[in-house]
Amino acid sequence: MANETENQAEQYRTYGQHKVGFGAKPAVLVVDLQKAFTDPAFDAGGAPLIERAVENTARLLDVARRANVPVAKCIMGYGSEREQPHWKVGVSRELILGRPACEIDPRVHDPDYDMTIIKNGPSIFFQTPVITFLTRERVDTVIVTGCVTSGCVRASIIDSFQYGFRTIVPEDCVGDHDERPHQDNLRDVERRYADVTDADGAIEQIEAWRKKNNVRFRG
């Protein structure tokens, strides 16, 4: 049994061995912080981890916008139920454009600054113009925030990795309905695809980037 445990430890030793780190220019992606998931009036809304994610993402965005860091956010929304894929989650029936469930939480919303995307799959990258936006802005580092950690956030992290971006995930800027899938998925992506930090760590990295590149605060 001891040898078996040692062999398993040896097999997993290389996971998470390298840090991704910050590159030349960051952007912040905000995934699905819409009222369907943030407002307690909805069945899937108001979970404590998601509420924490909204509050910390708002802090992060305040610094990012003042530092002229590009921001792209997305909502999940459809023109009708017939347009929807075969979601297994009940809240999907509420995700009809024009309904309150598709409204962005005002705490993270700046329509005059952010790029806003309507997506119809889990990832912010899937069949959306976000790659064009990030390329135009010469971004090589993506900070992923939003909900839910085990679903659309994870899908966005993996796509960010697959498109060649350095990927940073502030743990307290993403949220799920339960602690276990939140932690399990963060642990897994940290071992393979992304650096996991927290809001304060991400803010420090943005500040260091701003000072290094002599970027002036907006306003």
- Residues 31-58: pLDDT tens digits? 999 999 999 999 999 999 999 999 999 9
| Short-list 135, 136, 119, CA closest to 127 | 119
Rounded distance, CA 163 to CA 118, Å? 20
**Confidence class of residue 18 from pLDDT cuts 50, 70 and 90?**
confident
DSSP for residue 195: E
Which domains, and CATH codes, for the chain? 23-212 (3.40.50.850)
What pLDDT is attached to residue 6?
Answer: 54
Cα-to-chain-centroid distance, residue 167: 10
Going by C-beta distance under 8 Å and a sequence separation of 6 or more, which residues neighbour residue 125? 131, 156, 159, 160, 163
Are 58 and 39 in contact by the 8 Å Cβ rule? The answer is no
What pLDDT is attached to residue 218?
Answer: 79
- Residues 142-197: pLDDT tens digits? 999 999 999 999 999 999 999 999 999 999 999 999 999 999 999 999 999 999 99
pTM of the model: 0.92
What pLDDT is attached to residue 11?
Answer: 60
Half-sphere exposure of 112 (CA within 13 A, CB side): 1
Alpha-helical regions (H) of 35-126: 35-38, 48-66
